[in-house]
Amino acid sequence: MTALLDDVDFAGRTVLVRADFNVPLATVEGVTKIIDDGRIRAALPTFSYLVAAGARVVVLAHLGRPKGSVVPALSLTPVAARFGELLGQAVPLLPQVCGDDVADVVSKMSDGDVVMLENVRFDPRETSKDASERGDLAASWSRLADAYVGDGFGVVHREQASVTDVARLLPSAAGRLVATELAAFSQVLTDPARPYLVVLGGAKVSDKLAVLDHLINNVDRLLIGGGMAFTFLAAQGYDVGCSLLEESMLDLVRAISGRAAELGVDIVLPTDVVVARGLHDTVSATVVPVNAIPSDHMGLDIGPVTAAAFSAEIVSAQTVVWNGPMGVFEVPEFSAGTRAVAMAMARSAAFTVVGGGDSAAAIRSLGIDESAMSHISTGGGASLELLEGRDLPGLLALDELVEPTLSSTHPPLKES
């Protein structure tokens, strides 16, 4: 069983916490600003708890893809500043990822202090494919601390030094955010209230095939929109014009449809779609039934009849998992289907879970009330892997204590 924060006595202990603070940034007139601090906010319960418990907290986080070298534009400086504001105490950012200077600062921390190390991906060992290189970096971190808390849900599907290797070297617990994410996904994956509906969309079938393959065993109905719907429609013989069509997926889509029929799972496809000559040719946008897609048009959203039908299903279900926008929601002319589904999710009394980076972004950018959903995942890739039924390395590592290396200055960490 994975330990949770309440299982451990953190008072006076130095605790490494891996968080996902990979927020979107924009530089305006030379000043770098955080566009969306949702991920920082989502991590606050863990840090507030640890501070109140009297831990000495060392934050491990990454920003962007510096690919193992120091990229000043990807410094965690703005993140540490915002995090400190939200937490209500100063969070000094150490300019290094590891090393003697870090050890020196950490050794002088007081109970309740929080410091952040610089972007862990500035060090090439963080994401190295070589386990001994990763282990090397992880060991340098483990020597700083008595315990590890894994709370970076957005990275728990990665085999990386700050996610898995260091977790194996210290007594570990799952943070509040990871625990919340797991509780939501375990409810829909193991014990969903029925009817259980899954709404899938997004660009490609190939991205979602493993999710389809896993969920089909458990769901009652599957609603399909987005670009991937056109491969399903083509598999049924419809002419989809210039829509996104993955020819190589047609056989697999037919096989999945066949299995769904055997299992008694209804796959519901759009009956009308918004088409246009191109993504930027919004003047040509028009609604057509799926059997009348002009050969020089592409489908860019579900149509109003489909949106209403999907919404009605969402509102009357007991459990709804939604992954993938219904159309190219980034363009206002093609966002109505995604908006309708998001609003139905918000309105539904069902247990509603949103997975997928773009789906969560769509909810935010369309101004839908996020608090009306039961759970919006903070991890795109990680949430998809959970929906695929996979074990995530960052979660497994929390249970694998390979080599306890408790610091000599503290007595062994006790579970309370």
Residues annotated as part of the active site? 39, 204, 357, 381
Binding residues among 351-370 for ligand ADP as defined by CB under 6 A:
356-359
Q: Which residue is nearest to Mg ion (CB)?
A: 358
Query: For residue 112, is it left (φ>0), alpha (ψ between -120 and 50) or beta?
Result: left
R_g of the chain, CA atoms, integer Å: 23
If one asks whether residue 181 binds Mg ion (CB under 5 A), the answer comes out as no
Binding site partner of 330, from Mg ion, ligand ADP, none, Cβ cut-off 5-8 A by kind: ligand ADP
Nearer to Mg ion, 204 or 214 (CB): 204
Size of the site for ligand ADP (CB under 6 A): 20
Strands 272-276 and 298-302: antiparallel
Task: Tell me how far, at minimum, the Cβ of 168 lies from ligand ADP, in Å.
Answer: 30
5, 61, 300, 353: residue in contact with ligand ADP (rule CB under 6 A): 300
- Name beta bridge partners: 196: 319
Does an H or E element contain 320, and which?
strand 319-323
Query: For residue 340, is it left (φ>0), alpha (ψ between -120 and 50) or beta?
Result: alpha
136, 220, 330, 333: residue in contact with ligand ADP (rule CB under 6 A): 330
Structure tokens at 339: 């908006």
Nearer to ligand ADP, 201 or 394 (CB): 201
303, 357, 379, 394: residue in contact with Mg ion (rule CB under 5 A): 357
Nearer to ligand ADP, 275 or 309 (CB): 275
List all residues 6 or more positions away from 22 whose beta carbon is below 8 Å from its beta carbon: 39, 61, 62, 63, 64, 154
Nearer to Mg ion, 152 or 357 (CB): 357
Q: Rounded to whole angstroms, how far apart are CA atoms 79 and 309?
A: 42
Nearer to Mg ion, 327 or 357 (CB): 357
DSSP 3-state assignment of 281?
Answer: coil
Q: Are 115 and 109 in contact (CB under 8 A)?
A: yes
E strand spans, 46-163: 56-60, 93-94, 114-117, 147-150
- Name beta bridge partners: 222: 198, 267
If one asks whether residue 327 binds ligand ADP (CB under 6 A), the answer comes out as yes
Nearer to ligand ADP, 155 or 398 (CB): 155
If one asks whether residue 385 binds Mg ion (CB under 5 A), the answer comes out as no
If one asks whether residue 154 binds ligand ADP (CB under 6 A), the answer comes out as no
227, 241, 270, 393: residue in contact with ligand ADP (rule CB under 6 A): 227
Binding site partner of 135, from Mg ion, ligand ADP, none, Cβ cut-off 5-8 A by kind: none
Q: Are 158 and 393 in contact (CB under 8 A)?
A: yes
DSSP 3-state assignment of 34?
Answer: strand
Residue with the two structure tokens 């095939």: 209
358, 373, 377, 378: residue in contact with Mg ion (rule CB under 5 A): 358
Task: Tell me how far, at minimum, the Cβ of 337 lies from ligand ADP, in Å.
Answer: 8
x/- map, 194-213, ligand ADP, by CB under 6 A = -------xxx---x------
Task: Tell me how far, at minimum, the Cβ of 356 lies from Mg ion, in Å.
Answer: 6
Binding site partner of 324, from Mg ion, ligand ADP, none, Cβ cut-off 5-8 A by kind: ligand ADP
Size of the site for Mg ion (CB under 5 A): 2
* Sign of CA pseudo-dihedral 318, 320, 326, 328: positive
If one asks whether residue 226 binds ligand ADP (CB under 6 A), the answer comes out as yes
If one asks whether residue 380 binds ligand ADP (CB under 6 A), the answer comes out as yes
Task: Tell me the angle at which helices 176-190 and 38-52 cross, rounded to the nearest 10 degrees.
Answer: 120
User: Cα 6–12–13 angle (5° rounding)?
Assistant: 70
Q: Are 167 and 148 in contact (CB under 8 A)?
A: yes
23, 188, 244, 309: residue in contact with ligand ADP (rule CB under 6 A): 244
DSSP 3-state assignment of 248?
Answer: helix
Q: For binding to Mg ion (CB under 5 A), which residues are involved?
A: 357-358
Binding residues for ligand ADP (CB under 6 A): 201-203, 207, 226-227, 244, 299-300, 323-325, 327-328, 330, 356-359, 380
